[in-house]
Amino acid sequence: EKQGYDWFMRKEIFEQPKAVADTLLGRLNERGELVLDELHIRPEELRRINKIIIVACGTAFYAGMVAKYAIEHWVRVACEVELASEFRYRDPIVDANTLVVAVSQSGETADTLMALRHAREQGSRVIAICNTNGATIPRESDAVIYTHAGPEIGVASTKGFTTQLVACYLLGLYLAQVRGMKYGDEIAAVLGELERMPQLIQGMLDKAPEVYELADRLKETQSMLFLGRHVGYPAALEGALKLKELAYIHAEGFAAGELKHGPIALVNEGIPIFVVVPPAGRDQLRDKVIANISEVRARGARTIVLAEERDEEAREHAAAFWALPHVSTLLQPLVAIIPLQLFACEMATRMGHDVDQPRNLAKSVTVE
Ligand code: F6R
């Protein structure tokens, strides 16, 4: 049932406040500690882990990229993220002290399944992050954290992605808690922030008309670029993937720091470039991104800037400005992705494409 929406995908985009809230439900006890009841791996085992490898495909892989930044910061354990299709065929180093995390909305993706089987054969423990109860990937894993997004019908993943992010954050915070992390206060603050996320995502959805208006202006465009640093980088990659999948427009995401190493050659007069600007912080991350925006702007790019509402400097460099609420850097993809999803959906709709069933794509890729 589309419940009044034109496409399942649009309905699913608008369901994200609830999907995120449902995925967070029941995870905190009365002392404000995180409980992951479904995670049947003993704390002693989690304390022994010396490496984490996240395996996934497509959008789930981008959620995994965000997770890497969060997990390494909170847990202080080396965390790699790898495309499941590459991991399986390169003789990776995994053993009993490696924790493998398989992220999959459907739980049936063949590449991810093969990667997790390979990891288990080497004696490593596997946690699945999955949206489908009883699917093959969670059944074959040692433990599972379910995302509670509800069925995702649109082929392009939207609420699947944001709930995967939430599950990844929860896993990171839980590992930090179990291992007696040094960022105790920060973790409590992050949990509080996660609780406010449904409301902040709703705030982004309320601004959909601004996004639709831009889609109208850009509908003749052949090629678009997406830039970000840190967790804004996977958000950029995911924004580009949505546009390729749905609107069949050439779209590429880059780490903003890579611009000068090649991609800046693509910048020509009028090319739309979406830039995710991190919140102002101590590490000058934001200033670096602002500098990147002015570089592409100087070469004629039409910059669509996603930055904090109060970031006046970012606004000055913007042909279009999409305001983000103030959240901590690591959580920013949860809000930054919303307008990018809406944009891709709207572009595709205006071009007359089938948004729920893009050409050549299947909802779950059960062959390698
Ligand atoms: C993109 C998309 C795909 C999936 C990928 C993994 O919108 O839907 O890239 O994310 O095929 O699927 P799951 O998460 O089911 O393993």
Quote the CA–CA distance of 230 and 210 in Å, as a whole number: 26
Give, for ligand 1, the residue of 145, 365, 366, 368 to mutate: max count of ligand atoms closer than 8 Å to Cβ: 365
End-to-end CA distance of the chain: 31
Model pLDDT for residues 106-142, shown as the tens digit of each residue: 999 999 999 999 999 999 999 999 999 999 999 999 9
Q: Is 147 in the pocket of ligand 1 (CB under 6 A)?
A: no
**CA dihedral of residues 102, 247, 238, 314 (deg, nearest 10):** -170
What's the pLDDT at 183?
60
Classified as helix, coil or strand, 28 is strand
Give, for ligand 1, the residue of 155, 157, 162, 245 to mutate: max count of ligand atoms closer than 8 Å to Cβ: 157
Q: How far is the CA of 291 from the centre of ligand 1 (A)?
A: 33
Nearest atom in ligand 1 to the alpha carbon of residue 161 is: 10
Burial category of 312 from C-beta neighbours within 10 Å (exposed 0-12, middle 13-18, buried 19 and up): exposed
Residues of the chain with pLDDT under 70: 182-184
Q: Read off the pTM.
A: 0.97
Q: How far is the CA of 128 from the centre of ligand 1 (A)?
A: 14
What's the pLDDT at 69?
97
Nearest atom in ligand 1 to the alpha carbon of residue 158 is: 7
Q: Is-contact 119 88, C-beta < 8 A?
A: no
Residues with catalytic annotation? 363
For residue 368, the one-letter residue type is: E
Helix (H) or strand (E) holding 120: helix 110-121
Nearest atom in ligand 1 to the alpha carbon of residue 58 is: 9
Q: Is 245 in the pocket of ligand 1 (CB under 6 A)?
A: yes
Look at residues 35, 7, 120 and name the one whose alpha carbon lies nearest to residue 355: 7
Q: Is 141 in the pocket of ligand 1 (CB under 6 A)?
A: no
Based on DSSP, count helices (H) and strands (E) in the chain, helices before strands: 14, 10
Query: What share of the chain has pLDDT > 90, as a percent?
Result: 80
Model pLDDT for residues 25-65, shown as the tens digit of each residue: 988 888 778 888 788 888 899 999 999 999 999 999 999 99
